Structure 1
Amino acid sequence: MSFDLPRNVILPVDAIDVRLDPGPHPFARDNAEAIAENWQQETAANPALFDGTVVLLSQLAYRNSRLIGRCHAVNYSTFMLWRKRRENSGAEHAYAHAMLVAGDNALVAIRMGSHTVGAGSVYFAAGSFEPIDFRDGLVDVDFNMIREVREETGLDLSAARRGVRWHALSIPSGTVIFRRYHVDAPADEIARRISSFVTSETDPEIEGPVIIRHAADLPEGLSPHMKPLVEWHFAGEG
């Protein structure tokens, strides 16, 4: 199966069957020395980095509106080397976005903090899948979305109205799985709540909220995968 899904097109997703393999990822197994050397360089440049646990895919396919795949837990240091050697690595990255839709139909994204790997980047609050996001070996995408939004913004989306299905966009840098989450409050009010949370944090992960009000309202630092998502939303798709 390996990696077999359409690229650069937004796909409707009705089911996600991505499972956590307890074995090591071949990329981690075959590059242990290079991973350690690269991590020394990365942490010398940014001592705030933490070598936690994330997951990398070894397979992903799209069949009959389903995402089917296999992934493995790896150290963040492995992920950092993979970012530099992703071509023909036998590994890919997937992540999830809760597309936060305000009551006035504006989108509320975030800008990453200056101490993070994605410093200054604008996208919907998100983070890599971790082992905690799996239930009996099967990924729980919405759990990941809600967890990451809460950790980064202080917002609890567990009771928010969700889009009827997920969607996915696969580009060379990775596959984003996204879903609309509707909050009744207007965008300015949501942004105030996020800003208040960021101010209260000792070491916030994000710089603050970013409101996107229409398809041409593309802020500086917008991550490349975000433009098609923004256009999709304001075109009333999904």
Structure 2
Amino acid sequence: MHSTTEPRLLTLREVDLRLVDGVWPWAEANRAAIEAHWAALTAANPALFNGRVLVMRQREIDGEVMTGQVIAVDYASFLAMRDFGAPDPGTGNCFAMAALRSADGAYVLGVMGSHTANAGRVYFPAGTPDMSDVLPDGRLDLLGSVTRELAEETGITPDDVTIEEGWTAVFEGARVALMRIVRSPLSAAELVGRIERFLASEEQPELAGLKLVRRAADIDTATMPLFLQHYLRHVLA
């Protein structure tokens, strides 16, 4: 899911995505290639699990409001979409990230563990939306996804931070990354220490380490995806 165009950034007051029933025609038509790709991925990383995740099939933006629809697909199909270069026009990966910031201004990111699908890559706490993120009325609980992933990856709970209003959306090809600022009252050193203690207590932590970004020079173009580099340069400008 790579793009040759420069990411674009948009401030959103509200994001309303809803789950709809349906099959993914592209995945059905390319099932053999998807299964071969999945076999190669799981041979290299047996920890991968082919659960159900959500893919955005349609979106509209009106001012500062984005609405759209998502469908449930298997993770193998999702990863094929990502790795084949988003071959299905109009389909995308929309996910929410906790832009965790310390009291002294550092952004705290995680290095993904070797057992994950993005091993070695550097991200804010985030996850591909799945059925656990869907509310009873069918709406996708993106803020709930932010707080759940933050707690699962770092041990930091909503009671430990101040969550700002609104989203900063970064559009990069078929990706839509929704950033929500999450501020900690702890300094960067204190916050890192707390998260590292949490990681040490986990049997299989999702993160292999942490990365602090205070200035543009701290942005690692080798390990950080383009949309994240774009966001960090924007907020650090």
TM-score normalized by structure 1?
0.90
1:158, distance to aligned residue in structure 2 (A): 4.8
Query: CA separation in 2, counterparts of 1:118 and 1:87?
Result: 17
Matching residue's letter, 2:226: P
**Does the Cα contact within 8 Å between 2:7 and 2:171 map onto a contact in 1?**
yes
Query: CA separation in 2, counterparts of 1:95 and 1:101?
Result: 19
Measured against aligned partners, the alpha-carbon deviations of 1:142-171 in whole angstroms (never above 9, x if no partner) come to 100000111111111356222231110100
Query: CA separation in 2, counterparts of 1:55 and 1:184?
Result: 33
Residue 184, structure 1, aligned to residue 185, structure 2? yes
**Does the Cα contact within 8 Å between 1:57 and 1:70 map onto a contact in 2?**
yes
1:173, distance to aligned residue in structure 2 (A): 4.8
Q: Percent identity?
A: 32
Equivalent pairs counted in the alignment come to: 230
TM-score normalized by structure 2?
0.90
Structure 1 unmatched runs, 5+: 1-5
- Give 1:3's aligned residue: none
- Give 2:101's aligned residue: 101
Residue 46, structure 1, aligned to residue 61, structure 2? no
Query: CA separation in 2, counterparts of 1:158 and 1:15?
Result: 23
**Does the Cα contact within 8 Å between 1:59 and 1:69 map onto a contact in 2?**
yes
**Does the Cα contact within 8 Å between 1:163 and 1:180 map onto a contact in 2?**
yes
- Give 1:137's aligned residue: 138
Q: For 1:139, what is the secondary structure of its paired residue?
A: coil
Aligned Cα root-mean-square deviation (Å)? 1.8
Matching residue's letter, 1:93: N
- Give 1:16's aligned residue: 15
**Does the Cα contact within 8 Å between 2:7 and 2:226 map onto a contact in 1?**
no
Measured against aligned partners, the alpha-carbon deviations of 1:181-219 in whole angstroms (never above 9, x if no partner) come to 111000111111111111111111110221111232214
- Give 2:234's aligned residue: 232
Q: Runs ≥4 in structure 1, deviation > 3 angstroms?
A: none
Structure 2 unmatched runs, 5+: none
1:84, distance to aligned residue in structure 2 (A): 2.8
